Amino acid sequence: MIDAVKILDLLVTDDAFRDAFQESPGEALRKVSPEAAKAAALCALPGPLASKYELAVSRARLVEVLASVGLFYQPYCFVDEASGQVVALAA
């Protein structure tokens, strides 16, 4: 759960991390932990990141989902809804 919190905090507050995460999630997550980087090594985002505001207001639910189902089990939860893709969180 600590990694999930760190990731969301960085995605909400750190523009450089957001840019790096969008470019290569696995590489960006080296800043969080070796475990997070390894778990996301083969991940790619299917679209742009959600805005800082969208991530901030849904932070508690995202932490709950990421901590319960595993890091990046559902990476699409970070996709910007405005891009036309439906964003769904695991129940």
Burial, 23: exposed, middle or buried (Cβ in 10 Å; 0-12, 13-18, 19+)? Answer: exposed
Higher pLDDT, 13 or 63: 13
For the cut 50, the answer to whether the pLDDT of residue 75 exceeds it is no
pTM recorded for the entire structure: 0.66
Token duo for residue 70: 């595993």
Q: What is the pLDDT of residues 2-18, one digit of tens each?
A: 788 888 899 999 999 99
User: What own/partner pairs with CB < 8 Å and gap ≥ 24 does 1-7 have?
Assistant: 1/63, 1/66, 1/67, 3/32, 3/33, 3/35, 3/36, 3/71, 4/62, 4/63, 4/66, 4/67, 4/71, 5/63, 6/32, 6/33, 6/36, 7/32, 7/36, 7/66, 7/71
